[in-house]
Amino acid sequence: MRPLVFIGTTNLDIVFYSENLPAVGQSLMGSIEEFGGGKGANQAVAAARLGGDPQFATMFGEDDAADALTRGLADFGVKTGKIQRKPGAASGKSLIFVSSKGSNMIGIDAGANEDFSPDDVRAALDDVPQDAVVVVEMGLPVEACRAAFEAKGNRFLIFNPAPVRAQITEADCRSIDIITPNETEAEELTGLPVTTVEEAFAAAMHLHDRGVAGVAITLGDNGAVYLDANRRIHQSAYPVNAVDTTAAGDAFNGALATAIAKEQEIDDALSFAVATASVSVTRKGAQQSMPTDQEVRQFLAQQGAY
């Protein structure tokens, strides 16, 4: 298996569960729970649960949340040696509203995540082998993302442009082996509508034409599409009863990276990633919702897909 490294954000997720999402001026009764979160951390945990043995580079503050988040990541099997702490800073936090139908609204206080610098990225990659699979997400400052592109070398780079903080240049595109936006992010990056599978393929071709080697766009109930120079794949969604969709995209990215690190073919990797996301939304929380490799394979077998 190829080495697997995630570079991204970590947050303490404070999650409010209620029947409906709040309207402006509305007060709701519900319940509050706290979970480890942040896109990079969620993706690393997904990979660890799936047998990926990932390293994770991120920036915490110096607070109690940092201690709890580090312990949580280690308990899930994530290698924490590349985690740094910013003196005097607070760790990132997210406030998440989740309805009974699984839809959500998220507000983020980035905290120490914003202090993750290009030099920190270069240091994190310095001892990473050239055959590694590296996953970077756009919750980091854009300059840090670009440092990962520039330091890529011969590593396989997956870029999750979430949230879209800036447009990517053609030089950026040429460094990306697979980009993984959802439909909203694909629209922001291309200026094209992405409301159907065919529109998703058109947006994927736009990104491919700009230099991205492979494009995987997640489409919620429509599954995902993938396009590169040789293939055009639509992976249908698997039917589930969603409880909490907070980290579905992170489950997809962690699973896709793990499957590629295990050198699976892209069609199998795509099916595995969609299945992982499908299982994750049937559970509360972000990191706690990530399934094991065995659970995903059992799910695929039940779907007649494995």
Q: What is the pLDDT of residue 277?
A: 96
Does the pLDDT at position 102 exceed 80?
no
Residue 130 gets which letter from DSSP?
T
> Across residues 281-296, what is the average pLDDT?
92
CA-CA-CA-CA dihedral for 114, 120, 124, 125, to nearest 10: 110
Statement: 4-10+39-90+113-302 belongs to CATH 3.40.1190.20: yes
The confidence score (pLDDT) of residue 233 equals 98
- Helix pair angle (64-76, 39-49), 10° resolution: 30
In sequence order, what DSSP letters do the residues of 178-215 get, joined into one string? EE--BHHHHHHHHSS--SSHHHHHHHHHHHHHTT-SEE
pLDDT tens digits along 175-209: 999 999 999 999 999 999 999 999 999 999 999 99
**In the chain, pLDDT over 90 holds for what percent of residues?**
87
Select from 246, 284, 253, 250 the least CA-distant residue to 106. 246
- For 267, the 3-state DSSP assignment is helix
Looking at this protein, which amino acid is placed at residue 33? E
Q: Is 172 a catalytic residue?
A: no
pLDDT tens, residue by residue, 171-183:
999 999 999 999 9
Mean pLDDT of 6-11: 96
Residue type at 181? Answer: P
All structural domains of the chain with their residue ranges: 4-10+39-90+113-302
Given the residues 120, 172, 244, 250, select the one marked as catalytic: 250
CB 61 within 8 A of CB 89: yes
Q: What CA–CA distances, in Å, run from 224 to 3, 68, 98, 105, 235?
A: 25, 34, 23, 22, 5
* Helix pair 266-280, 248-261: axis angle to 10 deg: 150
pLDDT above 80 for 306: no
Half-sphere exposure of 134 (CA within 13 A, CB side): 30
Q: Look at phi and psi of residue 115 and say left if phi exceeds 0, alpha if psi is from -120 to 50, else beta.
A: alpha
Q: Write phi, then psi, for 83 (nearest 5 degrees).
A: -80, 135
Strands 104-109 and 92-98: antiparallel
